[in-house]
């Protein structure tokens, strides 16, 4: 497949469909429920899963079928953290038995895991640029300045209004 990867409908809707192109209704919509954390993840990866899963599920970016992608991101994150810890304990350059100087293997592991994490973050909408394009609308009640006090027979009531209701004439 050539060209850009198609953007999931949920991302198009969250971004407000800036291109105003018709949204396909035929895209499969998996049930929205939070997947369970895989048991095989490292403790650091499990902590990252717990940090992200609920938030991603709340805004509709995580479903049961996305479990493997998030697990792969979290495992890469766990390996990156481990490699960074090892790099802090060991020198970045090592001397081989033959007398040559080479980079620590932990440096290569860290770099590879960062590369993998970046790919997964783009897919899952976890980068700052992908978040800046999202327009998440969480339903809330009327704001205090959108209500006016109305006196009733038995009790005070509040009435919700909008700017359209009270326009200048």
- Domain residue ranges in the chain: 9-19+27-137
Q: Could you report the per-residue pLDDT of 87-112, keeping only the tens digit for each?
A: 999 999 999 999 999 999 999 999 99
Q: 28-32 contacts: CB < 8 A, separation 24 or more?
A: 30/63, 30/64, 30/65, 30/66, 31/63, 31/64, 32/57, 32/60, 32/63
pTM over 0.85: no
Q: 168: pLDDT confidence band, cut at 50, 70 and 90?
A: very low
CA distance 14 to 65: 19
CA distance 169 to 160: 21
Q: Could you report the per-residue pLDDT of 43-63, keeping only the tens digit for each?
A: 999 999 999 999 988 887 888
DSSP state of 37: P
Dihedral through CA 53, CA 57, CA 59, CA 65, nearest 10? 110
CA distance 125 to 157: 43
Contacts of 19 (CB under 8 A, 6+ apart): none
């Amino acid at each position: 497949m050539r060209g850009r990867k198609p953007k999931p409908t949920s991302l198009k809707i969250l971004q407000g469909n800036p291109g105003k192109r018709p949204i396909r209704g035929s895209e499969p919509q998996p049930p929205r429920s939070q997947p369970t954390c895989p048991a095989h993840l490292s403790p650091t990866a499990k902590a990252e899963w717990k940090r992200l899963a609920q938030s991603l599920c709340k805004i509709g970016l995580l479903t049961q079928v996305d479990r493997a992608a998030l697990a792969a991101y979290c495992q890469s994150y766990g390996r990156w953290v481990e490699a960074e810890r090892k790099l802090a304990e060991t020198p970045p350059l090592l001397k081989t038995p033959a007398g040559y100087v080479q980079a620590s293997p932990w440096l290569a592991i860290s770099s590879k895991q960062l590369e993998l994490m970046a790919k997964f973050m783009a897919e899952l909408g976890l980068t700052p640029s992908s978040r800046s394009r999202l327009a998440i609308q969480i339903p809330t009640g009327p704001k205090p300045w959108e209500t006016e006090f109305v006196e009733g027979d038995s009790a005070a009531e509040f009435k919700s209004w909008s700017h359209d209701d009270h326009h200048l004439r």
